[in-house]
Amino acid sequence: MDYTYLGRTGLKVSPLCLGTMNFGPQTSEEDSFAIMDKALELGINFFDTANVYGWKKGEGVTEQIIGRWFAQGGGRREKVVIATKVYGDMGDWPNESRLSAYHIKRAVEESLRRMQTDHIDMYQMHHIDRKTPWEEIWQAMEQLVQEGKVIYVGSSNFAGWHIAQAQGAAEKRNFMGLVSEQSLYNLDARTVELEVLPACEAYGLGVIPWSPLAGGMLGGVLKKIEEGRRASDHVQKRIDEKRPQLEQWEAFCADMGEHPADVALAWLLHNPVVTAPIIGPRTLDQLTGSLRALDIKLSDEQLTKLDEIWPGPGGAAPEAYAW
């Protein structure tokens, strides 16, 4: 495994990040343990989760699974860069969500307890909170860093101007601020190329794309349907809307002799601002298959063809829409 730096930090992480959102709802605890063990065996040291994963309000089901896996010992916790998130609704009372200092303090303690660890390597704000001032957010995060409960702070689903605003406020406090941004980014969802990616590049944030396969649509969905697998109603609707592109896409990958999912990941990895796409395997085979993406190198001609099949916004703003 060739490791990469997380943004402007000195922290080395694997170029694929293990997403754990399926652990609990889709993947049993036993299978989740096997996937995490295999990830370490393969050299994947970057795991992403969130306090809301598991989708039982307030329970943090997925964090609990990770905690029980850590508790087995064997260097599991020491080898893993664990990233979790704060913002989501964890209860019915008014201060059990969002980014108030009150909620951040409580949420981090609960995540630490569930994951059976004394620190979180990267604590990510799961969404922007327009109601809470940056002075309050950064004061809370600084306190956690000083206490050794959090090492790095990241964002998720931020606009480019939110990143600039956050970093400006952090700089005034002589605080490192954000080191990463987790965004929706794939061949079919390229809006972040306008403002978010340029902001991340300017401020030294590593980009961690979520949904790199567009909910499975870029993973060879047409071929899977031909083989008799059923797509969800939501995915089927998107297939109907994008069938001409999907046909070109899967033909392109077939000509390369590569699986569409691997090419989709390789396309993200060719961008130097991207640190690690998040892969969310439900099975061991899905995990091990993802490694092929690390060996695929796309030529300029192939990248141009992909832009034709999946057009982006035209580059960074303002040139994408102005002279």
d(CA 153, CA 144): 10
Active site residue 321: no
In angstroms, rounded to a whole number, what is the distance separating the alpha carbons of residues 2 and 254?
A: 27
For β-strands 12-13 and 4-5, DSSP reports them as antiparallel
The C-alpha atoms of residue 121 and residue 12 are separated, in whole angstroms, by 12
Neighbours of 91 (CB within 10 A): 12
| One-character DSSP codes across 88-136 | S--SSSTTSSSS-HHHHHHHHHHHHHHHT-S-EEEEEESS--TTS-HHH
d(CA 138, CA 77): 27
Q: Which of 118, 104, 20 is nearest to 60 (CA)?
A: 20
> Which member of 3, 5, 53, 87 is catalytic?
53
Show which residues are catalytic: 53
